A and B are shown apart, each in its own frame.
Chain A
Amino acid sequence: SQQGEEDPQALSIQEGENATMNCSYKTSINNLQWYRQNSGRGLVHLILIRSNEREKHSGRLRVTLDTSKKSSSLLITASRAADTASYFCATDAVQGAQKLVFGQGTRLTINP
């Protein structure tokens, strides 16, 4: 069963706008990660946020984590055509570590 679920499943915005994707999960976690996948390629790690952190930034990326609501959001600011990709959240479980469980992803399209 999926631990993380992304919302929305697909998102289409204009270049320059901000994109927000959400991830909800079911069980307690050690950390939550976001990955990007360009069409036909493998996943690339974007950012990791630990359970004791609430917000983290990396360039144009901002990730928040609300452990009370078991949810996270990924914000991409000032989007570019090159940001077009699928974005996945991945979580581990406090028990039974060594395994990341991925959500189904959000397909983001940036229109020029």
Chain B
Amino acid sequence: DAGITQSPRHKVTETGTPVTLRCHQTENHRYMYWYRQDPGHGLRLIHYSYGVKDTDKGEVSDGYSVSRSKTEDFLLTLESATSSQTSVYFCAAGTGDTEKLFFGSGTQLSVL
């Protein structure tokens, strides 16, 4: 998907464990985003980054943290996973402010 790679593609974990999802892009996009997709809620923004080490919160940021130490990598961390964080997580990247976004294929996360 246009140079956006998410890993892992699927993960099952237990409540209370830390989880890190990785997004890697090859197109040198400045902006990167983490969304979660749930039935009845569409896509909701968790965190986003507007440059290396520059991040900000989205609509549903509680329980999540992010880091961006290199242009190409954007990590999403669930410090202590809860069942409510079971979801499909999408990473996206773009060149300009809210211009066209390119999405990864998603990570299906199940927290038991």
Contacts and interface: CB of A to CB of B under 8 A. Distances in A.
Interface residues of A, number: 25
Chain B, interface SS category: strand
Contacts of B97: 92, 97-98
Interface in B30-85: 31, 33, 35, 40-45, 48, 50, 56, 58-59
B98 A100 contact: yes
Given A42-B90, A98-B56, 15 more contacts: A33-B100, A40-B106, A41-B105, A42-B105, A43-B103, A44-B103, A48-B99, A48-B100, A98-B50, A99-B58, A99-B98, A100-B33, A100-B45, A104-B40, A104-B42
Contacts, number: 66
Interface of B: 1, 4, 31, 33, 35, 40-45, 48, 50, 56, 58-59, 90, 92, 97-106
